Amino acid sequence: MRVVAAPDKFRGTATAAEVAAAVGRAARAAGWRCDEIPVADGGDGLLDVLGGPNRTSVVTGPLGDPVEAGWRYERGTAVIEMARASGLLLAGGPEGNDPIAADTHGTGELIQTAVEAGATRVIVGLGGSATTDGGLGALRALYPHQRLRAVELLVACDVRTRFLDAAEVFGPQKGASRAQVRLLTNRLARLADVYREDHGVDVRDLPGAGAAGGLAGGLAAIGAQLLDGFALVADELELDQAVEGADLVVTGEGFLDDASFEGKVVGGVAELAADLGVPVVAVVGEEVDLDSVHAAVRECGIAEVVSLVERFGRERAMSDTVGCVEQVVADVLAARS
C-alpha cells in the first residue's frame, strides 16, 4: 500500500516538509510506503518546497533598509520568494510597516541578480508582502526591461484578486487605514493607466494581478506569465506522477475555508487526485465556516477531513502540530489496512 503526503504548511506551527515527514513516519509504522512531497500554493513556502535557497543576496528591503534574501539557482532556473525581499515580516509586521512607502524594489533587484547569474527562467513566488505599490518598485529596479526579453518570467499567484482590489482586500493586513486604502487604490488605478500606455498591457481585469499588492500585475505588464501557484508547483514536482497509482493521498493546511478550494493546496491536491481516481484525506488545523466548507469538500471528493483543533483541542494542536498529524494519519491508515 502506498500513500502520497502532499501537504501545505500549517502557518506558524509546522512547515510543509515537517507535516509530510509526520505522514511518512505514520505510514512506515503502519507498513505503508510513502512519497513525501511537500507543496505550496505560490505564496511563502514556495522556495522551500522547490529545493530551498542555495544563494543569498543583499537587496533593498520594503522600507529601504538592506536585507539578506535567500533564493535558488540551478541549471538556468531561479526561484525567488518576494516575501524574502519585500515581505511584511521584514517591515516589522503591520504595526511596523509603512503601507504607503513600502515597495518592491528589492524583489526587482533579486530578479535582476538572478538574470545576471545566468537564469533564463525565473519563478517568482508571491505572498506575505508588505507592499501595495503595484510592482512599480520592482519595475524600476529592472529597467531597462528589454533585458528580460530572453527570460521566461513565471509568477506563481496564490490569490486571484484583481489589480484594483489589492488595497481593499489586503491593505488592512499590511497596516493600512481606511484613508490609506483609498489612497492606495487611487494610486493603483493611475498605475494601471501607465502600464497600459507604456507597455500595452491592461492589468485591471487580469486574474491574479492584485497578488502581492499588485506586484503580479506590474510583472505581467513587462511580459511575465501569471500562473496558478499550486499548478506551477505541482508541475515542477511532477505531483501527478507520484499520485497516479497510489492508494491514498494525505494533504492538509492550517485552515480549511472557502479559499482552500480557490487555488490553494487542499483544493488543488483533491482535484488532481480525483482526476486520477485516488482518495484524499485532508488533515487541517481548523475548519472555518463549516457549512460552506463541507459543501466544497463533497464537491471535490475529499473522503475525510480531520481537524486537529476539534480532535485534540487548540492548545495541543498549536503546540504539537506534527505529533497530532502523525497520530491522525496512523489512525486513518489503520482503518484502511
CATH number of 19's domain = 3.40.50.10350
Phi, psi of 238 (to 5 degrees): 50, 50
Residue-wise pLDDT for 5-60, tens only, equals 999 999 889 999 999 999 999 999 999 999 999 999 988 889 999 999 999 999 99
Q: What's the mean per-residue pLDDT of the chain?
A: 94
Model confidence pLDDT, tens digit, residues 233-292: 999 999 999 999 999 999 999 988 877 777 789 999 999 999 999 999 999 998 766 676
How confident is the model at residue 290, as a pLDDT?
Answer: 63
Same domain assignment for residues 201 and 138: yes
**Who has greater pLDDT, 33 or 299?**
33
Please indicate, yes or no, whether residues 145 and 252 belong to a single structural domain of this protein: no
Whether 102 and 155 map to the same domain: the answer is yes
Give residue 267's domain range: 2-32+247-336
Q: For the residues 298-324, what does the mean pLDDT come to? A: 92
Closest to 222 (Cα-Cα) out of 158, 131, 143, 126: 143
Residues 85 and 147 in one domain: yes
Mean pLDDT of 116-126: 97
- 226 and 251, same domain (yes or no): no
- Given 203, 230, 257, the domain boundary residue is 230
pLDDT score recorded for residue 293 = 75
> What local confidence, expressed as pLDDT, does residue 299 receive?
78
Task: Examine the domain organization and report whether 206 and 61 are in the same domain.
Answer: yes
Q: What does 113-154 look like in DSSP terms, one character per residue?
A: HHHHTT-SEEEEE--SB---STTHHHHHHH-SGGGGTTSEEE
Note whether residue 305 is domain-resident: yes
In this structure, is residue 120 part of a structural domain? yes
Kindly state whether residue 238 falls inside one of the protein's structural domains: no
pLDDT of 94: 97
Q: Does residue 185 have a pLDDT over 80?
A: yes
Which grid cell is 310? 476539534
**Total number of domains constituting the chain:** 2
Inside any domain, residue 117: yes
Per-residue pLDDT, 257? 81
User: Domain of 80: which CATH number?
Assistant: 3.90.1510.10
The whole-number pLDDT of residue 289 equals: 65
User: Per-residue pLDDT for 209 more than 90?
Assistant: yes
- Give the amino acid at 56: T
Q: Tell me: do 215 and 72 sit in the same domain.
A: yes
**pLDDT, tens digit (0-9, with 9 covering 90-100), for 129-160:** 999 999 999 999 999 999 899 999 999 998 88
